[in-house]
Amino acid sequence: MSVLHVHRAGPLTTVQDLGRVGWAHLGVPRAGALDGPAAALAQRLVGNPPDAALLEVTWGGLEVTSSHAVWVAVTGAPVPVEVDGRAVGHDRVVRLPAGGRLRLGTPERGVRSYVAVAGGIDVTPVLGSRSTDTLAWLGPPRVADGALLPVGLPTGPPAPVDVLRPPAPGPLRLHPGPRADRVEGDVLVRLAATSYVVGEASNRVGLRLDGDPLPLSVRDELPSEGAVLGAVQVPPDGRPVVFLADHPPTGGYPVVAVVDPGDLWCCAQLRPGEPVRFALTPGGGGRTPR
Amino acid sequence: MSGPVRWLSYGATAVLAEVAGPDQAQSLAAYARQAGLTALEIVPGATTVLFDGVADAGALQRALDGWRPGVVADHEGPLVEVPVVFDGPDLAPVAERWDTDEAGVVERLTGTELVSAFCGFAPGFAYLAGLPAELAVPRLATPRPRVPAGSVAMADTWCGIYPSASPGGWRLVGRTDAALWDPDRTDPALLAPGTRVRLRPVSGW
């Protein structure tokens, strides 16, 4: 079995898969790759099933060698990729020879890149998932310099070509949330009319937005209630937080809107300081995720 | 919008059921699980149940039409006894607030059958209901930076036990060595929603 030797983990690298679903009632966050379509593309390129585990690399900087020759693919935030010092490109499947060194530079845009290895990262699952949850720290520990990561046996051939996802991130489409009435006026219209900027404290738990505060008509804390991925929560300071994969399963601040599941990947790639726009969903109906 | 449940729209894939209180939320969640509903997550809260990963909200609501408060017996969950050493730093202030002494607090807490209403805050952290409104205690004005694992605590009318060390603003009345959370167990949370809980005083270890 192959082993990846991590020489440099970069600012934050974690193991992720589709997440830990079905445990929210016990207080377990979902976790899972933040940019789902990019992770899925990487898995298809190396011939993995969709539920295999891969590496989510935040701000690049990962450097690994493999004990055996393996197929790898790097997707997500576009980042310079080198194998043994030679540029090999992004969004394509690449042969990493035994002992060969895969190196990711710093992303030109976006935040999170995905490194899939044929066979998947074969760490021990916790509650059915190999994802690291950065809120409760369930699952494997964050990848550290010097870590040795087991790789499973490939189950299918690599796919040399694939249809890329739509490249242009658009505004985040909104659905009404259960506590929309806690903001004066039509909260979806207000959100769509406000210019927000991604806050510095954004992470895998939530995308924090700076902008004109939303005026809450009721300021009392709610009794704790369940929250979904993409929930737009408004704390007393009026600055919205979009809940991402490691969000707490219950919360006491009102959820006034929900980002369409098809747009959550954009949240994974927005950098602190970048503008964020919301948009209304025509008719408020659910849309098929891309 | 009549009947015991008020349905609130919650994005493209979820609905939120609002009910009168924690016991009703727990009862509705238990009813939904017994009915074999197809939802990825059924998450009770203090006065709500979240159904997430729902393909057809209308079908889900119709399937829960038969639920009424009390239709799932309040006290049918398993009973767990938790051994507690009552020596917490906030025992005296709680006693003062309840107009009793420390022994009186212990008597009140151990004489009440608590029920796990829902989990949140951390994996396996259960919000235990059962104390009456007049025994509500406020959270600390400044949370402690570190509360040890196993701390038995109170906030508002809730009791809770910290499964792992974390910051926390609840009033600490005791400690236990019970294993509240173990992801390798079949039932990872000792106090899953619906579990009945008795705190049993012990003298220490």
The segments of chain A whose pLDDT lies below 70 read: 164-168, 283-290
Q: Do B183 and A255 touch (CB under 8 A)?
A: no
Q: Do A228 and B13 touch (CB under 8 A)?
A: yes
Q: A162 in a domain, yes or no? A: no
Domain with A53 in it: 3-150
Q: Are residues A144 and A12 in the same domain?
A: yes
Name the residue facing B120 among A126, A249, A255 (closest C-beta): A249
User: Minimal Cα distance from A28: which residue of B?
Assistant: B123
Q: A161 in a domain, yes or no? A: no
Name the residue facing A223 among B10, B43, B47 (closest C-beta): B47
Q: Are residues A129 and A267 in the same domain?
A: no
Identify the pLDDT of residue A286.
Answer: 39
Identify the pLDDT of residue A246.
Answer: 97
> b/e for A71-109, b at 16 or more Cβ within 10 A?
bbbbbbbbbbbebeeeebebbebbebeeebbbbbeebee
Q: Are residues A146 and A245 in the same domain?
A: no
Domain with B43 in it: 6-63
Q: Are residues A92 and A176 in the same domain?
A: no
Q: Are residues B107 and B197 in the same domain?
A: yes
Please give the sequence-ordered ranges of beta strands (E in DSSP) within chain B, or none if there are none: 6-10, 14-18, 41-44, 48-52, 79-84, 114-119, 126-129, 144-147, 151-155, 158-161, 166-168, 171-175, 196-201
Q: A126 in a domain, yes or no? A: yes
Q: How far apart are the CA of B94 and the nearest CA of chain A, in angstroms?
A: 22
Residue with the bigger pLDDT between B205 and A184: it is A184
Q: Are residues B111 and B181 in the same domain?
A: yes
Query: For every residue of A248-271, which 3-state class applies, written as one string?
Result: CCEECCCEEEEECHHHHHHHHHCC
Identify the pLDDT of residue A271.
Answer: 97
Q: Are residues A216 and A263 in the same domain?
A: yes
Q: Are residues A64 and A137 in the same domain?
A: yes
Q: Are residues B58 and B88 in the same domain?
A: no
Q: A272 in a domain, yes or no? A: yes
Q: How far apart are the CA of B101 and the nearest CA of chain A, in angstroms?
A: 30
Q: Tell the residue number behind the tokens 């990848």, with chain if given.
A: A143
* Distance (Å, whole) CA A227 – CA A244: 11
Q: What share of chain B has pLDDT > 90, as a percent?
A: 81
Start-to-end Cα distance in chain A: 35
Overall average pLDDT of the B149-168 stretch: 95
Q: Do B120 and A248 touch (CB under 8 A)?
A: yes
Do the Cβ atoms of A24 and A251 come closer than 8 Å? Answer: no
Q: Are residues B17 and B90 in the same domain?
A: no
pLDDT class for B205, splitting at 50, 70, 90?
Answer: low
User: Minimal Cα distance from A261: which residue of B?
Assistant: B12
Q: Are residues A114 and A226 in the same domain?
A: no
pLDDT class for B106, splitting at 50, 70, 90?
Answer: very high
User: Minimal Cα distance from B40: which residue of A?
Assistant: A22
Q: Do A255 and B121 touch (CB under 8 A)?
A: no
Q: Are residues A280 and A207 in the same domain?
A: yes
Q: B195 in a domain, yes or no? A: yes
Identify the pLDDT of residue A167.
Answer: 60
Identify the pLDDT of residue A170.
Answer: 84
Q: Are residues B166 and B105 in the same domain?
A: yes
Of the candidates B99, B120, B126, B96, the residue with the CA atom closest to the CA atom of residue A135: B120
Q: Are residues A269 and A134 in the same domain?
A: no
Q: Are residues B88 and B119 in the same domain?
A: yes
Do the Cβ atoms of A42 and A75 come closer than 8 Å? Answer: yes
Q: Are residues B184 and B132 in the same domain?
A: yes
- Within the 136-195 window of chain A, which residues sit less than 8 Å (CB to CB) from chain B? 136, 138, 175-179
Identify the pLDDT of residue A252.
Answer: 85
Q: Do B119 and A127 touch (CB under 8 A)?
A: no
Overall average pLDDT of the B25-32 stretch: 92
User: Minimal Cα distance from B125: which residue of A?
Assistant: A27
The answer to whether residue B182 scores a pLDDT higher than 60 is yes
The answer to whether residue B192 scores a pLDDT higher than 80 is yes
Q: pLDDT (tens digit, 9 = 90+) per residue, B30-64?
A: 999 888 888 999 999 999 999 999 989 999 999 99
Q: A289 in a domain, yes or no? A: no
Q: How far apart are the CA of A33 and the nearest CA of chain B, in angstroms?
A: 18
Q: How far apart are the CA of A177 and the nearest CA of chain B, in angstroms?
A: 5
Q: Are residues B86 and B166 in the same domain?
A: yes
pLDDT class for B83, splitting at 50, 70, 90?
Answer: very high
Instruction: Indicate the helix (H) or strand (E) that contains A231.
Output: strand A231-233
Identify the pLDDT of residue A216.
Answer: 86
Going by C-beta distance under 8 Å and a sequence separation of 6 or more, which residues neighbour residue B181?
B123, B124, B163, B164, B188, B189, B190
User: Minimal Cα distance from B157: which residue of A?
Assistant: A223
